[in-house]
Amino acid sequence: MTHSPAVNGQFLKKKDPIAVRIRGDLRKNGSLYLMLLPVVVFFLIFHYQPMYGAQIAFKDFSPGLGILDSPWVGFEHFIAFFKSRYFLRVVGNTLMINFKDLVFGFPAPILLALMINEVNSKFYRKTVQTISYMPHFVSQVVMCGLIFEFCSLDGLFNNIRNIFGLESIAFLQKAELFQGIYVGSSVWQGIGWGSIIYLSALTAIDQEQYESAHMDGAGRLRQIWSITLPNLLPTIMIMLILRIGQMMNIGVEKVMLLYNPMTYDTADVISTFVYRKGILEASYSFSAAVGLFNSGINFILLLTVNKISKRLTQTSLW
């Protein structure tokens, strides 16, 4: 018969290796976890806790009855949205604006970071970075005010047109120009801030690679193509996955500040539609269904692009 080892008549307890690792990690990184705690609490309160209310998308919600006592209606609100005469317009505009922003806005910070990285003068680099960052810190209200000034009949854009002998036009009253103005202003506002992460990635590239390439006779363009871009590819792919995961999202504030009845055909998007239905018309369940549909499509796009990226470039979020 075998006996467990004992000391002074007491049996030794085997230590749980997982618990030991957790305690050791807490002792080593306790201050980091403490710094992370406010972020975790923020997401739990403002992102995860509200998910409980998402069930009203499947109910005929009444504030008087509350969430639990409101009757279930299943997918009735989703079907109503799909049959709505606004469905194709808001979904199409949302996708089109995001697609244009993806084509023009996503590469812009990469190109800016590459150009800044090629400049030898530190003063010039800092100046360009500072100027390009500034629009990011301008509020949407002020930014839209600037856009109104630039696009007015006696604004900057029409003054340029007048120089070339062209007549002044009301830019913000033409539906066909709205998406271009929206995307162009977004690129202007975000190009500097978006370049920060790429500039950080560029600093991590081993400079010996450039020296070896230079000794082999490679010029600057060849070095960018053969060294810089391959080293940037993992960062680019991660940012691309995150960007495509938001293809159905457009900030409601900027669109509402810029659009008007004359531009609804190209400016009305899912976020503004949800605002009108949920806030102005008090159709809480319907607007929740539209928002849930929006989030579901984003989630599917995120999973799909992440899988494709993992297969093609071995880079993914998980």
pLDDT digits (tens, 9 = 90+) for 250-294: 888 899 999 888 998 999 999 999 999 998 888 999 999 999 999
Mean pLDDT of the chain: 89
pLDDT digits (tens, 9 = 90+) for 96-140: 999 999 999 999 999 999 999 888 888 988 999 899 999 999 999
Q: Rounded CA gap, 272 and 253, in Å?
A: 9
pLDDT bin (cut points 50, 70, 90) of residue 300 is very high
Give kind and range of the element (H or E) at residue 105: none
pLDDT digits (tens, 9 = 90+) for 38-79: 999 999 999 888 888 889 999 999 888 888 889 999 999 999
**Structure token pair of residue 312:** 């093609």
Where along the chain do its domains lie?
75-310
Q: Which fold has domain 75-310?
A: MetI-like fold (1.10.3720)
Q: Please state, for a pLDDT cut of 90, what percent of the chain lies above it.
A: 59
Q: Say whether 7 sits in a helix, a strand or coil.
A: strand
What lies within 8 Å, CB to CB, of 42 at 6+ separation is none
Give long-range contacts, CB 8 A cutoff, 24+ apart: 301-309: 301/244, 301/245, 301/247, 301/248, 302/241, 302/244, 302/245, 305/240, 305/241, 305/244, 305/245, 306/241, 309/237, 309/240, 309/241
Task: Check pLDDT > 50 for residue 12.
Answer: no
The pLDDT score that the predictor gives to residue 16 is: 67
Q: What is the DSSP string of 228-296?
A: IHHHHHHHHHHHHHHHHTTTT---HHHHHHH--GGGHHHH--HHHHHHIIIIIS--HHHHHHHHHHHHH
Q: Rounded CA gap, 249 and 228, in Å?
A: 31
Q: Rounded CA gap, 73 and 293, in Å?
A: 16
Give kind and range of the element (H or E) at residue 169: none
The pLDDT score that the predictor gives to residue 113 is: 93
The pLDDT score that the predictor gives to residue 220 is: 85
Give kind and range of the element (H or E) at residue 110: helix 107-118
